[in-house]
Each structure stands twice: as structure tokens, then as C-alpha cells.
Amino acid sequence: MSRRNQVGSIEVTGRWYVVRFWKDVPGQDERIHACERICPVSGPGSLAKTERKRRALEIVMSSGVNSPASFAGTTTGTTFREQSEQFINRAMARKRRPLKLATLSTWQSCLDKWLIPNLGEMPLANVNNAAMKSLVAKMDGAGLSAKSILNYTGLVKLVVASAVDENGEQLFPRQWNHDFIDMPTVQNQRQPTFKVETMGSIVSSGKGQEGVLYALLAGTGLRIGEALGLELGKHISDDCRALSVRQSVWEGDVQAPKTPNAIREVDLCSALAAMLKAFIGDRKDGFLFRNRRGKPLSQTNLLRRSLHPILQELGVEKAGFHAFRRFRITWLRKLRAPEDLIRFWLGQANTSVTDRYSKLFEDVNFRKEVAESVGLGFDLSQTECPIVRIVRKEAEEVVAEKAA
């Protein structure tokens, strides 16, 4: 029996999404076409596209059709291509740290472009230091950066290590020798960010909600998927002074945040909160940043149609949304914000036992005081964003009333 790596096909049958796959029957030479329900098409119990795919994989994997027992006697002949398919399927279906779709897209691109063409038909038993050395030489010769080579070879190691027996023991344990492989050292990695003097210009150049989005990214350090996943009535406090990060958006689909640490509260200074409140207006539900159909904005479209043209016009180095996050971290450290709060607001893991003991992030009033004292790092009053003009006018009226 040849090795199989089924993922199943998702279809609609009546009022249900179902997954269809082939299943072996003891005592029979031919397989049967199995069908299992995933969830209702709509209403209670329905799932988003991402979750439907994950649930379908769970059903297929739990059926045992891809289990090592189904491939007795074939393990040693497994190729890198076959094992990589099995590895991806299991990573998507597992309950412990399931693979995010963004990571899946990156890994699949790496496999399709580099790993499968060079290692695909090689028996997994032969993917060793010598094979890795040859792969690294080809990638280096093609001009890939040291960081890319390190990431791609890291995926090779994960695939090889994923081949285990019925006891969970690695079938092909490896002691990778980076000196023999001649693995390049990562140095001077490109990490673009924005300067204080240009941040206001970037925000002011954004049209409509784009300017508000850029101000929010720079003033909070949110990941772009987290910002696009914010929903009114769920994740934003009434006074707009706090954001609750509970989900993320990737390619239009809602998914869980990147890591457990990413589930957090993020405090805003009063200037940014006022801008956000004016932008929301009378809206009560839906995504904070949305297109005409009420769906989350597309990261790709925002980069291609808005951010990159703005940076080109300003003469600023091309960068992605993570540059806003670097800007925020740099500003917080420059203003000497407590490291505990920086990690909490940015959704990063603790680095020591002492960090786990500290409960500074539980002091909400202190968090708000620090958020107000550090501010944004750029001046909203210089921007011509229509939303900001409204906020500035309201602020001026408040000042005039107090003076009277």
C-alpha cells in the first residue's frame, strides 16, 4: 500500500459542511469514500473558513487514515516530499499550538520554491548534513539572505524530526553540524522603522480610515492583523482608552492571535483615544476598519495602494506594517516605560522568572498613567487627516470652554 497524506475535500451537503476522504476497511482491498459533518452552513455552530479547514483536518487525522500504522513497512522509503505533506497536515490539525494560516502560507511557499525541487524525491533517511550543505550552497548562490537561509533550513529540520514511530520517537534523529553545512551567520538584518519626524507625515497622508489605522498602529504597537481584527462592541472600551486583543485577521479570515501572550489589553493615550472615538462616531458594531462590504481591510491592498505609495512620496525607505511596531517599542523605551508594560502592551513573552512574578500589568490605573505620560511620539495636530481635524476642533472647543 502506498503512503497517503489525505487532507480531505470540504463540500456543502444540504445544510452542512462535510469533509470527504478515502478510508480503508479491514478485510477489503478497496477503500470506501467516507463523509463526516464539519458544521452547519449557517446559524449556531457554524465556523469560519479557517476553522472549517482545521476541523476537517482534525476529522481526517482522527480517523487514522494517515496514521503510521496505515503505512507499515513503508516508513524507511518515505521521501522528503511525502513527509513534508504529512508534517503540514498534522501541524494544522494538532490541538497544541496549531499552525496559523499565515505560517502555513510562508512554509508552503518555501517548500514549493526551494525544498521540494531540491530535496523532494530524496528518501528522508538521506536528508542529512551533506544534503543540507548542498541545499545551503544553492540558496547562497542564488543570493538569498542569511536570515532566509536560516529559516528555510529550519523547516527542513522540522520535517525530518516529524517522522516518528508509534511511540513518538524520532525515526531519523540528527545532530546538525552548522560548521560542516557552512551555515551563514545572520548579521545586520534589515529591520526598517520610521523616524519621529516622519511619523506624523505618514499618518496625515493616509486617506480617511487609513490615517486612523496608521496612527493606531504607531500609537499602540498592534500587529496589523490584530488591528484589522478589532470589532466595535467587543474589543474597544466605551471611552476608547483601552483595546482588547482577542482575535486577528489574515487574508480576510478571523483567527486566534499569534500566541497566547498576544491576548491582552492595550491602553491608549487621550489624544489617540479622542481620534478613535471621533472616527467611530455612532457605529455600534462591525469591524473597526472595514471595506464597503463590511469585511476587514486587506493587508495586501493597504500596502500596495496606500502605505508604499505614501513612503515613496515622502522619500522614506519601503517598509511593511511591522515598522510601526518597531517605532512604538523604540518610543516606549526612549521614554523609559517599564519593561513589564512594554511586553504586556506588545503581546510578548516574559524573559525570566522575575518577569512572571511581576503583576504590574494588573494595575489598570498605573497602565493608563504610563500610556498618557509616554504619549504617541508624533504630533497629531500637524496632520490633515479629516478625522484628526474633527478631534482637533473638539479639543480647541474644550480648551475655550475651560478658559471661559
Q: Which amino acid is at 236?
A: I
pTM: 0.74
Task: Check residues 280 and 190 and name the one with the higher pLDDT.
Answer: 280
Task: Check residues 391 and 337 and name the one with the higher pLDDT.
Answer: 337
pLDDT of residue 172: 92
Q: Which amino acid is at 33?
A: H
| Cβ–Cβ < 8 Å for 10, 19 | yes
Res. 1 pLDDT band, cuts 50 70 90: very low
- 104-129 pLDDT, tens digit per residue, is 888 999 999 999 999 999 999 999 99
Residue 381 predicted with pLDDT over 80: no
Q: Which amino acid is at 297?
A: L
When pLDDT is averaged across residues 265-292 and rounded to a whole number, the result is 94
φ and ψ of 387, to 5 deg? -65, -40
pLDDT of residue 207: 87
- In whole numbers, what is the pLDDT of the chain averaged over residues? 86
Res. 188 pLDDT band, cuts 50 70 90: confident
Calpha distance 253→374 (Å, rounded):
34
Calpha distance 111→368 (Å, rounded):
45
CB atoms within 10 A of CB 37: 14
SS3 assignment for the chain: CCCCCCCCEEEEECCEEEEEEEECCCCCCCCEEEEEEEEECCCCCCCCHHHHHHHHHHHHHHCCCCCHHHHCCCHHHCEHHHHHHHHHHHHHHCCCCCCCHHHHHHHHHHHHHHHHHHHCCCEHHHCCHHHHHHHHHHHHHCCCCHHHHHHHHHHHHHHHHCCECCCCCECCCCCCCHHHHCCCCCCCCCCCCCCHHHHHHHHHHCCCHHHHHHHHHHHHCCCHHHHHCCECCCCECCCCCEEEECCEEECCEEECCCCHHHCEEEECCHHHHHHHHHHHCCCCCCECCECCCCCECCHHHHHHHHHHHHHHHHCCCCCCCHHHHHHHHHHHHHCCCCHHHHHHHHCCCCCCHHHHHCCHHHCHHHHHHHHHHHCCCCCHHHCCCHHHHHHHHHHHHHHHHHHC
Residue 140 vs residues 137, 152, 154, 224: alpha-carbon distances, Å:
5, 12, 15, 31
9-13 and 16-23 strand pairing: antiparallel
By C-alpha distance, which of 278, 286, 285 is closest to 216? 278
- 6-26 pLDDT, tens digit per residue, is 778 899 988 999 998 887 766
Burial code (b: 16+ CB inside 10 Å, e: under 16) for 330-345 equals bbbeeeebebbbbbbb
- 220-249 pLDDT, tens digit per residue, is 999 999 999 999 999 999 999 999 999 999
pLDDT of residue 2: 42
Calpha distance 88→162 (Å, rounded):
10
Integer Rg of the chain from CA:
25
| Domains of the chain as residue ranges with CATH | 9-181 (no CATH), 196-403 (1.10.443.10)
- 273-282 pLDDT, tens digit per residue, is 999 999 999 9
Calpha distance 404→138 (Å, rounded):
74
Res. 395 pLDDT band, cuts 50 70 90: very low
Calpha distance 232→276 (Å, rounded):
11
